[in-house]
Amino acid sequence: MRQKLIAGNWKMNGSRSFNANWVKGFNEAMSQCVTQSQAAVMVCVPSPYLSQMSDLLKGSQLALGAQDVSAFDKGAYTGEVSLSMLEDLGAQAVIIGHSERRAYHAENDAMVAKKVKATISSSLMPIVCLGETQEQRLAGQTQSVIATQLKAVMDVLDPDFERLVVAYEPVWAIGTGLTASPEQAQEVHAFIREQLSQKTRHANALKILYGGSMNAQNASSLLSQPDVDGGLIGGASLVTQDFVKIILAAGI
Ligand code: 13P
């Protein structure tokens, strides 16, 4: 039985005061819950706020993640943030290859693979994002797109590596209010697990998250699918009441 993981991706949102209020609101909303969720919970925040969030989350069950990392160790890479810096700031995970980085920052499969490879030798958990565009889905290319994106990652993967998390994030569902149906998500998740089993010994234990307009209303039907092991939540993770509802949906 895989423990579910609900991870918020704040994207480029937050401020020192927003962050403090969010943690306060989150703790209040969690303390008012009658039932406890069994899910692991994480929030991935912009790098400049990792240090503040790490302090705010001391003693809490909420894990902390970053949204990107440099593929390089250190040196003359202006603007980049290294793995050791993320570790130093208290991050336990990092999102790699989000479709917004692929679309707006020209990240390709080779770059994603380099970042995954570097992360594997750190203490961080890589959360690798994959997903097809609307055109690719309509053209019947969903599986081939996912297989190509995943192969680049599997090529650098040690078969014994256990910390990999994959997030299926159909590009057409991100921030659009359109969501993959539970059946569509399950079909792709099962495909990803089958592909992973060709390389890793732990395909049945690895978590595959769904991301793309997951919210308090649709979370439980998506999370009840056998291969949907949690969610990577954008917009709804900024609203603590909604985020907590999704966490509760994962625990039942
Ligand atoms: P939304 O939940 O806002 O659609 O974003 C999903 C996402 O991109 C998470 O990484």
Q: Where are the domains of the chain?
A: 5-251
Question: Residue 32 is encoded by which pair of tokens?
Answer: 């008012």
**Could you say which residues of the chain have pLDDT below 70?**
252
What is the predicted pLDDT for the residue at 252?
A: 58
Kindly report the pTM of this predicted structure.
0.97
User: Which stretches of 155-202 are DSSP H helices?
Assistant: 182-197
What is the spatial distance between Cα 66 and Cα 45, in angstroms, rounded to a whole number? 6
- What lines the ligand 1 site, CB under 6 Å? 9, 98, 169, 174-175, 211-214, 232-236
- Ligand 1 centre from 5 Cα, in Å? 15
* Active-site pick, 100, 107, 132, 169: 169
Residue 205: both structure tokens together: 């234990």
Is position 98 annotated as part of the catalytic site?
yes
Give 251 Cα–ligand 1 centroid separation in angstroms: 20
Question: Which one from 98, 100, 132, 189 is the annotated catalytic residue?
Answer: 98
- Choose the residue to mutate in 6, 10, 11, 208 for probing ligand 1, maximizing ligand atoms within 8 Å of C-beta: 11
Ligand 1 closest atom vs CA 44: 10
Biggest distance spanned by C-alpha atoms of the chain: 51
Please report the pLDDT score of residue 32 as a whole number. Answer: 86
Per-residue pLDDT tens digits for 158-187: 999 999 999 999 999 998 989 999 999 999
C-alpha 65 – ligand 1 centre gap (Å): 15
Q: Could you give the dihedral angle defined by the CA atoms of residues 154, 155, 161 and 165, in that order, rounded to the nearest 10 degrees?
A: -30
Fold of 5-251: TIM Barrel (3.20.20)
In angstroms, the CA 169 to CA 151 distance is 16
With vertex at residue 31, the alpha carbon angle to CA 26 and CA 36, rounded to the nearest 5 degrees, is: 100
Could you confirm whether 169 is annotated as catalytic? Answer: yes
Best residue for ligand 1 mutational test, from 5, 6, 9 (most atoms within 8 Å of Cβ): 9
Which residue's CA is the closest to the ligand 1 atom numbered 2? 234
For 126, residues 6+ apart whose C-beta sits below 8 A from its C-beta are 93, 94, 96, 115, 116, 119, 120, 163, 164, 165
